[in-house]
Structure 1
């Protein structure tokens, strides 16, 4: 339905036409390599390869291709990451058809476009705590219910080092407990990847 809707929408944009449609991330990568489209639209959550993976491969194989991303995820952290990634267009799936068409036309003309709802969310929300890659890994594993010993085994670090990372996470989030830490992390979107397909 989404692909058909986008195909219909592109039919209303002057000098735009659809040259290929993919059912999953791997097919999207293959089509990008083969067709080198002027614009590629991506869903953040796709089977076999997610939007971020497809975006990276598209940039690698067809750097001139503009990329517009659609997402149903609304966490500030994830949206900010997509803006920082350098995508040409970023839209929520709830975006109205008129704004979507106008935004895609701007992207096709070589400009960047971020949907108004996304801009407002980013402006109205405080930034999440700045975490190191290791702290993000530990946070994700805490959310999966692993103990410090299990996390240490998984990351090949000592349980004592894991405890230091846990203490830093509690401090950065101002959380008194694991439940408080996970609640705060979910609110900022730092654990949204656990819900992605």
Structure 2
């Protein structure tokens, strides 16, 4: 179910950094620690330490590497997501392959960035996940596009539910299509002339129908089922405006 709590961003976003390479870990801590409105509350050198510090510190955002000792970042993300829903987790890694992306999002990550991201992209990622938006590097979004475009025509040629796919209402599909286009709840509400509360309600019902825990899993599931097209395949969407 989509969280219906307030989307107000705190004055200072508390960040936990999980990275096994000391130089990268320190660089990220120095970068975010020096930015107004950001506070690095802890650093972890492996996945086990990340899980422990997440439970102890309850940060707003966790930047999570994938390839770490003792417990990898994907398993650490799954462990954290199963036990608390306070922290948003953004994968920050050199791996931009579909199996890693899919596994991370299924584990509960709210975003997936590659380590060559520009500083402004890293800052924007924090702000966007704090508004419950999904954050993906352009290269990662392209992976999702490539994964589904091969069978998109076949999937769309079927009537909803012909192959056992759960049915969504017309309004739920409209909201979901705009979510896939990178729109925030506020933008979806404005586009469809709805209240933000109604948008959350429709997303929550769609989560229930597709068996998704949150909006990230909802988007992944809808793309897999061919219900929506990722935003890079639709250049008129908000993602294109942000690139």
TM range, smaller chain: 0.5 to 0.7
> 1:43 — aligned with what?
65
Moved more, 116-125 or 40-49: 116-125
Higher gyration radius (CA)? 1
Question: Quick check: 1:60 aligned with 2:82?
Answer: yes
Q: Quick check: 1:77–1:127 contact (8 Å CA) kept in 2?
A: no
Q: Quick check: 2:74–2:107 contact (8 Å CA) kept in 1?
A: no
> 2:53 — aligned with what?
31
| CA displacement at 1:114 relative to structure 2 | 0.9
Separation in 2, partners of 1:77, 1:53: 14
1:87 to 109, 124, 129: 109
CA displacement, residues 141-197 of structure 1 (integer Å, 9 cap, x when unaligned)? xxxxxxxxxxxxxxxxxxxxxxxxxxxxxxxxxxxxxxxxxxxxxxxxxxxxxxxxx
> 2:231 — aligned with what?
none
How many positions carry a matched residue from both structures? 129
Give 3-state SS (helix, strand or coil) of 1:69's partner: strand
| CA displacement at 1:10 relative to structure 2 | 1.6
Separation in 2, partners of 1:90, 1:119: 9
Q: How does 1:1-197 map to 2 (within 5 A)?
A: 1-125=23-147
Q: Quick check: 2:61–2:126 contact (8 Å CA) kept in 1?
A: no
Superposition TM-score, scaled by structure 2 size: 0.48
Q: Which runs of 5+ in 2 are unaligned?
A: 1-22, 151-243
Separation in 1, partners of 2:138, 2:106: 16
Separation in 1, partners of 2:130, 2:30: 16
Moved more, 54-63 or 30-39: 54-63
Q: Quick check: 2:32–2:39 contact (8 Å CA) kept in 1?
A: yes
Q: Quick check: 2:90–2:112 contact (8 Å CA) kept in 1?
A: yes
Q: Which runs of 5+ in 1 are unaligned?
A: 129-197
Separation in 2, partners of 1:84, 1:62: 16
- Name the Cα RMSD after superposition: 2.3
